[in-house]
Structure 1
Amino acid sequence: MKAIGCPISGRVAGKRAIVTGAGSGIGRATAERLAREGAAVALLDIDLPAAESAAERLREHGLEARAIHTDVTSEPSVEVSVGEAAAAFGGLDIVVANAAIQLFGEDDRADRLSLDVWRRTLDVNLTGCFLTCKHGVRALLASGGGSVVITASPTGLFGRARGFDAYSASKAGTYGLTRVMANDYAREGIRVNCVIPGFTDTPLVASIMQDDSRREAMLESVPLGRTGSADEVASAILFLASDEAAYCTGSALTCDGGITAV
């Protein structure tokens, strides 16, 4: 992850943002990138110490950030968290629905997949995304418009992630939600887009790649031959959230090393 003190160009100066799953990985990198580019950022995560650590690091560099404990599977929790952020910042302009889980070792093909794993995966990845969007969009409407960016996945676009049926279904749902919401809110000044990261250097992917043979096979499927960094994905999210993407809505920006091009 790049140093926070790198030059700020002000691409989202004066904007007010929330990022879910901001305690680590892509969410943390996104929160840092938005803050460096001038936004006030609320870092929402179920792991409050992790979110607070990230927020404190930003504040140490003179950036505006606050951590909020949030369980995205709970509507009361999401509603309160979004309300707290909007009250603290005087409104919201950017909503990043990023929180997700992948239950490696438990997710499976349909005939072997337990209902519990299915529900846990969809509760976080799809219902959590929906709840973040529901209450986030309400705040954006109150502010006169804004941008929603959803973290989707290549697994939601193709059927090659064999044995990850729950995760694939949940991410297909986020892609569909992106497109329909883009149409729902376009005339009300709200853009809705998604970013589609491939294998990214995050704690989640690291846990999957511990086995050398599995890592080799995964990287073989990537045309660029490497994993992406959380900062690279954060750059894509920043673009979609910023006014530079003012004519983009309903779009899916792939940041996957070419996986979806194969």
Structure 2
Amino acid sequence: MSYTLTGFEGKVAVVTGAGRMRSIGRPIALALAQAGCDVVLTGTGRPVASYPADERELNWRDIESVADEIRQLGRRALPLVSDVSKPEAVEALASRVVDEFGRVDFLVNNAGAARGGDRVPVAELSLETWQRVMDVNLNGTFYMSRTFAKCMGEQGEGGAIINISSLAAQLLAPDTSAYATTKVAINGLTTIMARELGPKKIRVNVVAPGIIDTSRLDDVPRGRVWDEMIAAFIPLGRAGTGEDIAHLVTFLCSEQGAWISGQTIYVDGGHCPTPRRN
């Protein structure tokens, strides 16, 4: 029995929200390329002014930089600016992918609404912010899954859809109503799709990260505040990395993960819901 992950040669993966340097999407895209996939990367075309300082210092170019890394691995890469919250943009994306590569085998729904203004009590949450989080996180996952599941079904060779959720769906903490609601819904949608798409050999799973050290969490100061948070909540003693998530995503797409579907898998270092006492 071989434990080398297989099933990637000649396959095409689509990874949304893959342009940030310190992120989850970029390591997923790179891991799938290393396994043997050609990769389509999507991003929002965010303005350079919004980049964190380390990206600006390195002249980071969002999905274009990630595409360069994938090409250096000897795989094809197609970076595309696309808005997952718009059904017509998703349909155009799928058409472009099929035109360019002739197929699609793996979809990773990683794109998420920006963190910040949504982290307030329900009574203070604006309707615009609520709708934005719903449109990107939940509707975007639905639009992408619906469209690309059709592509996979028409190919008749199966495939895998991985939805990136969050530990927030389990914690249901105050001030996370919009975000956590989308993640709870994504978990449920995944179970339903797994049952519907299983007869077409399309596997659908959720990977739900805990605290991951990415630029998305730069509003939490590194140093004492960060270290105390990790010590209080994570028994394994460190924050997760994008690579921790990428390893599991790659396994779920592989032939070795071919009998796993309809699951929500938390990758959180054993996160405790209440602070640990040392």
Aligned pair partner of 1:15 in 1, 8, 11: 11
Secondary structure (helix, strand or coil) at the match of 1:193 reads strand
3-state SS, counterpart of residue 157 of structure 1: helix
Q: Which amino acid aligns with 2:9?
A: A
How many aligned residue pairs are there? 254
Corresponding residue for residue 245 of structure 2: 233
CA distance in 1: counterparts of 2:118 and 2:194, whole angstroms: 33
DSSP-derived class of the 2:75 partner: coil
The answer to whether the 8 A contact 1:94-1:147 is kept is yes
TM-score by length of 1: 0.90
Moved more, 144-153 or 53-62: 53-62
Partner Cα separation in structure 1 for residue 29 and residue 146 of structure 2: 20
SS of the counterpart of 2:140? helix
Question: 1:130-209 counterparts in 2 under 5 A?
Answer: 130-144=142-156, 145-159=158-172, 161-209=173-221
Larger radius of gyration between Structure 1 and Structure 2: 2
Identify the residue that residue 129 of structure 2 maps to in structure 1: 117
**TM-score, normalisation: structure 2:** 0.85
Of 209-218 and 244-253, more deviation after overlay is shown by 209-218
1:244–1:64 Cα change, 3 Å: same
> Partners of 1:168 and 1:219 in 2: how far apart?
23
Matched, 1:66 2:78: yes
Equivalent residue in structure 1 for 2:228, among 216, 234, 259: 216
Change (3 A) 1:54 1:243: same
Where in structure 1 do 4 or more consecutive aligned residues deviate above 6 Å?
A: none
* CA deviation after TM superposition for structure 1 residue 62, in Å: 1.8
Cα RMSD (Å): 2.0
Between the two proteins, what is the percent identity of the paired residues? 32
Q: Which structure 2 segments of 5+ residues have no match?
A: 47-60
Alignment of 1:34 with 2:32, yes or no, is yes
Q: Mark the CA change 1:166 to 1:212 in structure 2 (over 3 Å): closer, same or farther.
A: farther
Gaps of 5+ in 1: 1-7
Structure 1 pair 240–23 and aligned structure 2 pair: CA distance change class (3 A): same
8 Å contact 1:219–1:227 — kept in the other structure? Answer: no
